[in-house]
A and B are shown apart, each in its own frame.
Chain A
């Protein structure tokens, strides 16, 4: 009896997937620093942080959206459209100080459109944001076509590519850290965060508890768009290149990182530190494997396998835990071993 009692505790510790991912990430970082030539150099560290920045930024609101049980696949297209508009406005002679706030507003408006379709028209978010994924990317090509705008002011582009006091930490890490703290506190220490989890765990129950789920989701989409717009601005300045194809396909990397970080695709579960660890883990693996001359195809396979594991494993763990609990309940109610075994199989 005593070892039967231990099993759920052991399982639940394993089930804390996000904690496991944080540990794995630290271990991978340590191994890579020791085993991969040049990985530990400060310059590589800068490159690593610059590469993961846009994914980390967009993963923040994406965590909220997925925890509520929805998804936003239009983020990379929002980034691309913002970048294209930024280039077009710059070509038209607007000042960069006007363009940047306008681009943020544009991002928010694009997010609001998603929010409108999902919460007012009650359409499934997967369908809506696949639609706007295509729509926003298409508009980006309408705005800027195949051309690129490159002559952004040096003071801005060099800030985005530069590091703090010339050290290894990129300047752009500052806004990321600030936003990560804000989003982390909002998710784990405020009523907003509790509402997000409640909406994800069960929308009806959340409604009965007085949470205006629709309005909550609408604003999450707005924030998602706003941050994607910010990522678009930073992306454009980092590469000195406003283009319609910027960030192409990045939504998959973001969703992969969020799920790898322990957020359940079915909503209701996840932590922001776990997600940030997921982002770092993916970026570290990419960076280290590339330094080892691992081919692109193999890299894709690694990402794909990680994504599948991160969707499957927590699911299997929860199911087996539920089965164990059911069996225990049954065996308490009626001590016949057959019925318990059957319940476990079911």
Chain B
């Protein structure tokens, strides 16, 4: 009996692979398939910048994952904007940030006939077929924070450009080090894409004449682990006693470095700066360990996404480069290349403004 079972299984497997091989007409490999992307619906409609702003626009936000403090603030900004615009705000999303978990939510939003979907894509391609189905049924798609493939959304709200962040980091490091001396970077992991891009710009900036007296002595990695980052900060000060500033372009790293410095003899002598959230850094700003640091304001990302979404739904813009629209308190924005809208330079937080922010 079991041997019959065995042969059954084997023949089934063989048959399956045969079918697969036979249905294939020749070998399709990566090189001969020019089918990357899925050729999204290109907007053919003309934009009318003077069109009236529609009221009652139904916009749904689909962050990477629900109940994440960061994305809660982002979509909170979206809600503020939709209240201003008299639109209908909705928030949906998966519990996990895996690649394809957003797809069934997009499908649901299509069924519910939303006007705009604002999405922070977990995987730029996995959401593509669904987003294009949404677009072909007349829904506008605004990617924010984390882009979807560019042929399946109308616009992308980028929190900041890589250049903008790298330049801001170099500027703060130079100011805090007094224009000269040794500085070090405390990053996340050696292969974190965005961190490395910022560090690359940072290094290019240091080659400029105005930063000639700054010396980058080391890039350390705390793996975005609090304890490891703490130890790395400690290690940097032991190896480089003349260090003027630690620049941590990661929220975990900057908080760990600040915590170490605030409780050590280096407080007031070695500056800590980089990218962090106001709530995390407030006590170190108050106790004088940290003078200034930067981050984009996540609420503004959602706010801008909602204004862009309503502008799309009102047909004031279609997502083509050079089109302009107004975004409430943030002022006027122009759509850049590939439908990208950059929020602006990162916000710099210091003792004078930190209490205005709660995230």
Name B125's closest neighbour in chain A (CB-CB): A150
Taking a contact as CB atoms under 8 Å apart, the answer to whether B33 and A153 are in contact is yes
Taking a contact as CB atoms under 8 Å apart, the answer to whether B27 and A216 are in contact is no
Shortest beta-carbon distance, B102 to chain A, in Å?
10
Contact with B along A208-246 (1 / 0, CB 8 A): 001110011001001100100010000100111101011
The contact of A192 among B1, B99, B126, by CB within 8 Å, is B1
Taking a contact as CB atoms under 8 Å apart, the answer to whether A296 and B98 are in contact is no
Within 8 A of B (CB), among A242-301: 243, 245-249, 286-287, 290-291, 293, 296, 300
Whether, in the assembled complex, B95 has its beta carbon less than 8 Å from a beta carbon of chain A, the answer is yes
A239 and B126 contact, Cβ closer than 8 Å, known pairs A90-B30, A153-B33: yes
Taking a contact as CB atoms under 8 Å apart, the answer to whether B93 and A291 are in contact is no
The contact of B5 among A91, A216, A287, A300, by CB within 8 Å, is A216
Taking a contact as CB atoms under 8 Å apart, the answer to whether B36 and A296 are in contact is no
Residues of B within 8 A of A219 (CB): 2, 5-6, 9
Taking a contact as CB atoms under 8 Å apart, the answer to whether B95 and A239 are in contact is no
- Number of contacting residues on B, CB 8 A? 51
For this complex, into which size category does the number of interface residues on chain A fall? Answer: 35 or more
Whether, in the assembled complex, A155 has its beta carbon less than 8 Å from a beta carbon of chain B, the answer is yes
Docked pose: A148 CA to B98 CA in angstroms: 11
Whether, in the assembled complex, B28 has its beta carbon less than 8 Å from a beta carbon of chain A, the answer is yes
Among the 9-residue stretches B107-115, B309-317, B327-335, the one with 4 or more Cβ atoms under 8 Å from chain A is: B107-115
A239 and B98 contact, Cβ closer than 8 Å, known pairs A151-B36, A192-B5, A290-B108: no
Residues of B within 8 A of A104 (CB): 13, 16-17, 20
Within 8 A of A (CB), among B1-40: 1-2, 4-6, 8-9, 12-13, 16-17, 20-21, 24, 26-31, 33, 35-38
A98 and B27 contact, Cβ closer than 8 Å, known pairs A108-B13, A191-B4, A293-B90: yes
Docked pose: A304 CA to B100 CA in angstroms: 22
Within 8 A of A (CB), among B61-105: 66, 90, 92-96, 98-100, 103-105
Residues of A within 8 A of B123 (CB): 148, 239, 241, 243
Shortest beta-carbon distance, A71 to chain B, in Å?
20
Whether, in the assembled complex, B129 has its beta carbon less than 8 Å from a beta carbon of chain A, the answer is yes
Whether, in the assembled complex, A195 has its beta carbon less than 8 Å from a beta carbon of chain B, the answer is yes
A239 and B24 contact, Cβ closer than 8 Å, known pairs A93-B29, A192-B8: no
Name B105's closest neighbour in chain A (CB-CB): A290
Residues of A within 8 A of B5 (CB): 192, 195, 216, 219
Residues of B within 8 A of A51 (CB): 104, 107
Whether, in the assembled complex, B271 has its beta carbon less than 8 Å from a beta carbon of chain A, the answer is no
Residues of B within 8 A of A101 (CB): 17, 20-21
Residues of B within 8 A of A33 (CB): none
Shortest beta-carbon distance, B161 to chain A, in Å?
22
Docked pose: A150 CA to B150 CA in angstroms: 14
Within 8 A of B (CB), among A80-112: 90-91, 93-98, 100-101, 104-105, 108
Docked pose: A47 CA to B105 CA in angstroms: 10
Shortest beta-carbon distance, B20 to chain A, in Å?
5
Contact with A along B116-134 (1 / 0, CB 8 A): 0000000111101100000
Docked pose: A293 CA to B92 CA in angstroms: 8
Docked pose: A219 CA to B11 CA in angstroms: 13
Docked pose: A248 CA to B123 CA in angstroms: 14
Shortest beta-carbon distance, B146 to chain A, in Å?
13
A240 and B30 contact, Cβ closer than 8 Å, known pairs A290-B108, A296-B95: no
A241 and B1 contact, Cβ closer than 8 Å, known pairs A93-B29, A246-B100, A291-B111: no
Name A90's closest neighbour in chain B (CB-CB): B30
The contact of B111 among A43, A90, A186, A235, by CB within 8 Å, is A43
Shortest beta-carbon distance, A267 to chain B, in Å?
18
Name A290's closest neighbour in chain B (CB-CB): B108
Taking a contact as CB atoms under 8 Å apart, the answer to whether A151 and B13 are in contact is no
A222 and B9 contact, Cβ closer than 8 Å, known pairs A100-B20, A241-B125, A243-B99: yes
Docked pose: A37 CA to B123 CA in angstroms: 29
Taking a contact as CB atoms under 8 Å apart, the answer to whether B96 and A248 are in contact is yes
Residues of A within 8 A of B37 (CB): 151
Shortest beta-carbon distance, B26 to chain A, in Å?
8
Taking a contact as CB atoms under 8 Å apart, the answer to whether B28 and A291 are in contact is no
Whether, in the assembled complex, A346 has its beta carbon less than 8 Å from a beta carbon of chain B, the answer is no
Shortest beta-carbon distance, A331 to chain B, in Å?
42
Residues of A within 8 A of B38 (CB): 154, 157, 240
Residues of B within 8 A of A320 (CB): none
The contact of A95 among B28, B107, B111, by CB within 8 Å, is B28
Whether, in the assembled complex, A182 has its beta carbon less than 8 Å from a beta carbon of chain B, the answer is yes
Contact with B along A290-332 (1 / 0, CB 8 A): 1101001000100000000000000000000000000000000
Taking a contact as CB atoms under 8 Å apart, the answer to whether A241 and B29 are in contact is no
Name A101's closest neighbour in chain B (CB-CB): B17
Residues of A within 8 A of B104 (CB): 47, 51, 286-287, 290
The contact of A93 among B26, B30, B96, by CB within 8 Å, is B30
Pairs A–B under 8 Å by Cβ, sample size 19: A47-B107, A93-B31, A100-B17, A148-B123, A151-B36, A157-B35, A191-B1, A192-B4, A192-B5, A195-B1, A216-B2, A239-B126, A239-B129, A240-B38, A240-B126, A241-B100, A290-B105, A293-B90, A296-B95
Closest 8 CB pairs of A and B: A95-B27, A97-B24, A154-B35, A150-B125, A151-B36, A241-B126, A239-B126, A101-B17
Q: What 6 additional pairs, Cβ within 8 angstroms, besides A148-B123, A150-B126, A154-B35? A: A95-B29, A151-B33, A161-B129, A216-B2, A226-B13, A300-B95
Give residues in B with beta carbon < 8 Å to A: 1-2, 4-6, 8-9, 12-13, 16-17, 20-21, 24, 26-31, 33, 35-38, 66, 90, 92-96, 98-100, 103-105, 107-108, 110-113, 123-126, 128-129, 149
